[in-house]
């Protein structure tokens, strides 16, 4: 069984987090982004929110962060991981050894977090179709 098929199958055993409102999601992300920005001196230029078809969030070359509004369905620890991951792209654009070294300082279990996000992706797509 391929990784994608296996992950899709595992998603049937997961439960989505609370369905946060737009304001709740924005408040949560705002608090966490400010905390990480202050701690690591990583500052995004602007934060955008929209439903995205292929990713949880993104970081542009201009240091703008776009957050997928589907994050509202994830547990808070996963939301925090996504935000930290994207803020790390301000320091290191590529998913290289340096990038994962930075990520692992805050999230030593980043590989599990990445796998969980893949599983949650399938779950959110099933629930929203």
What order do you get walking across the sheet with 57-59 strand by strand? 47-50, 65-68, 57-59
Q: State how far the alpha carbon of 87 is from the alpha carbons of 16, 78, 104, 106, 110, in Å.
A: 24, 14, 13, 12, 15
The whole model's pTM is what?
0.85
CATH superfamily of 18-128: Metalloproteases ("zincins"), catalytic domain (3.30.2010.10)
Q: At 58, is the secondary structure helix, strand, or coil?
A: strand
Residue 87 contacts residue 45 (beta carbons within 8 Å): no
Q: How many residues does the chain have?
A: 129
Does position 116 have pLDDT exceeding 50, yes or no? yes
Q: What is the pLDDT of residues 58-109, one digit of tens each?
A: 999 999 999 999 999 999 999 999 999 999 999 999 999 999 999 999 999 9
> Could you state, in order of their start, the residue ranges of all structural domains in the chain?
18-128
């Amino acid at each position: 069984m391929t990784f994608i098929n296996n992950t899709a199958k595992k998603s049937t055993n997961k439960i989505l987090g609370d369905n946060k409102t737009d304001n709740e999601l924005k408040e949560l992300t705002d608090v966490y982004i400010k905390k990480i920005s202050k701690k690591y001196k990583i500052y995004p230029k602007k934060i955008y929110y929209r439903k995205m078809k292929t990713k949880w969030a993104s970081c542009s070359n201009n240091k703008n962060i776009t957050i997928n509004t589907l994050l509202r369905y994830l547990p808070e620890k996963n939301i925090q991981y996504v935000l930290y991951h994207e803020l790390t792209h301000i320091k290191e654009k590529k998913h290289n050894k340096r990038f994962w070294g930075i990520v692992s300082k805050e999230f030593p279990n980043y590989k599990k977090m990445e796998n969980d996000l893949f599983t949650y992706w399938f779950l959110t797509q099933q629930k929203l179709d």
